[in-house]
Amino acid sequence: MINTGAIRAIFHHEMSRFFRTIWQSIASPVLSTVLYFVVFGAAIGGRIQSVEGISYGAFIVPGLMMLTVLQQSVSNGSFGIYFPKFSGTIYEYLVAPAGWIEVTVGFVGAAASKAILIAFLILITSFFFVGVHIAHPFWMLAFLFLTAFAFSLLGFIIGLWAKNFEQLQIVPMMVITPLVFLGGAFYSASMLPPFWEAVAKLNPVLYLISGFRWAFFDMADVPVGLSLFAVALMIAVCMFTIRWIFLTGWRLRE
């Protein structure tokens, strides 16, 4: 029987840490978003009138939200589990009557919640700069939740794998950020030459951003079903990997 008390305890513990440093947690992403709007929306956006009929300022809102969700999910997910490993308190999670599923849901649920909260703040911030209309609110929420969960799972794996703070930073910096920037956060894949459009479609993040943008503007680079499949596949692969790590104790009980 699932230990729901353990999930609640881990979730509450992680959210408390977030709220203890609430201003640092919120100020940085909101400030970055404002800068993106100033640079991409006002400066560059003035020269790009519209993308497929949507003002450039509005066009980048889903991409900016995705950029933040992905970065925050990975960062929160990885730090959440790495910190107990670093401080030595990881033993508590391993001796408690809580299995891999409770520990994962607790940490990843908190990481995803923080990312979603910040994404909403960015959406609210964007209303001050551009007019944004959400064509499919339910699907917008669905993509937001699923993507935040998927990348928090990825961050959780990075935190389990990392042996030091350098390793904790390197994957988000060297892999996630380039994938997001090359995944159509600030442009449509259809704006690229055919060869680079084909290359861009090898990037899994493009499918997430495309699905999310479809929820806003009813336009996508790839079919929405493929976007959903991509995020579901990522969740499945990450869950399988985490289960394997907990069962074998790799990097956890060493």
Partner 1 sequence: MAAIIEVDHLSKQYADGPKALDDVSLSIDEGEIVALLGPNGAGKTTMISIVCGLVVPTGGTVRVGGHDIRSDWRAARKLIGLVPQEITLEPFETVMNCARFTRGLYGAPPDDAYLEKVLRSLSLWDKRDAQTRALSGGMKRRVLIAKALSHNPQVLFLDEPTAGVDVALRREMWQVVDQLRRDGVTIILTTHYLEEAEEMADRIGVINRGKLLLMKPTAELMGEFGKKHLTVELSERMAICPPELSERGITLSEDGLRLGYDYDTRSDRTGIAHLLAELARLGIAVRDVSTKQSSLEEVFMSLVSNEEEGAA
Using CB under 8 A, list all residues that contact partner 1: 1, 3-6, 8-10, 12-13, 16-17, 20, 83, 87-89, 91-99, 249, 253
**CB of residue 215 to partner 1, shortest distance in Å:** 36
Nearer to partner 1, 3 or 55 (CB): 3
Q: What is the DSSP letter of 130?
A: S
Nearer to partner 1, 1 or 202 (CB): 1
The angle, 0 to 180 degrees and rounded to 10, between the axes of the packed helices 56-87 and 22-36 is: 150
- How crowded is the C-beta side of 188, counted as CA atoms within 13 Å? 19
Q: Which two tokens stand for residue 44?
A: 């560059």
**CB of residue 252 to partner 1, shortest distance in Å:** 10
Nearer to partner 1, 45 or 106 (CB): 106
Distance CA 104, CA 88 (A): 18
Distant-in-sequence, close-in-space partners of 222: CB < 8 Å, separation ≥ 6: 189, 201, 206, 207, 210, 211
Distant-in-sequence, close-in-space partners of 211: CB < 8 Å, separation ≥ 6: 139, 143, 220, 222, 224, 227, 228, 230, 231
**CB of residue 107 to partner 1, shortest distance in Å:** 12
**CB of residue 160 to partner 1, shortest distance in Å:** 16
Contact 215, 231 (CB under 8 A): no
Nearer to partner 1, 163 or 253 (CB): 253
Nearer to partner 1, 21 or 50 (CB): 21
Distance CA 206, CA 64 (A): 13
**CB of residue 20 to partner 1, shortest distance in Å:** 7
Nearer to partner 1, 10 or 200 (CB): 10
**CB of residue 100 to partner 1, shortest distance in Å:** 12
Amino acid at 179: L
Tell whether the torsion through CA atoms of 56, 60, 62 and 65 is positive or negative: negative
